[in-house]
């Protein structure tokens, strides 16, 4: 899951990002509307977490603009403006949820999770033969036993599982599973796929299409 976080207060932005990353999300951090717009033009985010008033304007204007698009991610707006009229204005404009500062980090993570998991991006439970992904709780089991994955391993597996049988490009995996500002070589995708192959050896195959990407398929027995 990849999130865009717009917050001009660097201390708050760091705290929000750290908590959201702890949930296994990749978080792109920006401090202005202009930076947010450029990021949205470049990346297909799963959720936008937007501070309302930032140095170059009001995030309501950004939401109004992107809401004209055919498809857009859910929007959680954060603001010090807690009056009922301000909430109604933001929600009417297109925000899907609204939180008033000060923000409790646990509640922030929960609200983002609920916004994303209610979006129609594939089923909550993905069954791949003996392997099951419970996407609501981010749990993976194999033959009924819990499989413990790192957040990055889970994100990669989830992307491939939802598209099972189809090629997912390396660029798509990189964009969905790593922060844009992390400055990590895209070759890291191969390293993590290699680890997933070892973990699910005999159950799942991660087929490589040279120069393009990977396809996930079931090789283990399908439970009856």
Q: Using a CB cutoff of 8 Å and minimum separation of 24, what contacts does 124-128 make?
A: 126/158, 126/161, 126/162, 126/164, 128/161, 128/164, 128/203, 128/204, 128/216, 128/218
Question: What 3-state DSSP class applies to 120?
Answer: coil
| Domain identity same for 20 and 82 | yes
Question: Is the residue at 223 inside a domain?
Answer: no
Question: Is the residue at 134 inside a domain?
Answer: yes
Residue 201 pLDDT greater than 90, yes or no: yes
Of 94, 117, 140, the last residue of a domain is: 117
| Domain identity same for 149 and 200 | yes
| Domain identity same for 10 and 112 | yes
**Strands of 168-169's sheet in order across:** 168-169, 213-218, 204-209
CATH of the domain at 13: 3.40.50.2300
**pLDDT on residue 43:** 85
**pLDDT on residue 131:** 93
Which residue stretches of 54-150 are H helix?
Answer: 59-66, 84-93, 105-117
* Full residue range of the structural domain in which residue 191 is found: 125-218
| Domain identity same for 170 and 66 | no
**pLDDT on residue 70:** 47
| Domain identity same for 129 and 112 | no
| Domain identity same for 79 and 142 | no
Q: Write the CB contacts of 71 (distance below 8 Å, at least 6 apart in sequence).
A: none
User: Cα(224)–Cα(220) distance, rounded to whole angstroms?
Assistant: 13
pLDDT in tens, 174-193: 777 776 555 666 678 888 99
| Domain identity same for 48 and 154 | no
Of 88, 117, 146, the last residue of a domain is: 117
| Structural domains of the chain, count | 2
pLDDT in tens, 50-103: 999 999 999 999 988 886 654 678 899 999 888 888 888 888 878 888 999 899
> Hunting for tokens 């936008």 — which residue is that?
48
**DSSP letters for 140-205:** EEETTEEE---HHHHHHHHHHHHTTTS-EEHHHHHHHHS-TTS---TTHHHHHHHHHHHHTTTTEE
pLDDT in tens, 112-141: 988 887 544 456 788 999 999 987 777 899
């Amino acid at each position: 899951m990849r999130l865009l976080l717009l917050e001009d207060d660097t201390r708050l932005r760091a705290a929000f990002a750290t908590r959201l990353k702890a949930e296994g999300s990749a978080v792109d951090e920006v401090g202005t509307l202009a930076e947010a717009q450029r990021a949205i033009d470049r990346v297909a985010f799963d959720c936008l977490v937007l501070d309302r008033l930032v140095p170059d304007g009001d995030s309501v204007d950004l939401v109004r603009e992107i809401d004209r698009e055919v498809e857009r991610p859910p929007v959680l707006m954060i603001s010090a403006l807690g009056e009922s009229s301000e909430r109604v204005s933001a929600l009417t404009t297109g925000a899907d949820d609204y939180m008033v500062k000060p923000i409790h980090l646990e509640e922030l993570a929960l609200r983002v999770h609920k916004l994303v998991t209610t979006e129609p991006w594939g089923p909550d439970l993905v069954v791949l033969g003996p392997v099951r992904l419970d996407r609501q709780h981010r749990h993976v089991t194999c033959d009924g036993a819990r499989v413990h994955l790192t957040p990055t391993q889970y994100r990669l597996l989830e992307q491939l599982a939802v598209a099972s049988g189809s090629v997912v490009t390396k660029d798509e995996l990189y964009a969905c599973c790593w922060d844009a500002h992390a400055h990590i070589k895209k070759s890291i995708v191969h390293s993590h796929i290699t680890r997933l192959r070892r973990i699910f050896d005999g159950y799942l195959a991660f087929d490589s299409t040279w120069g393009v990407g990977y396809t996930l398929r079931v090789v283990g027995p399908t439970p009856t």
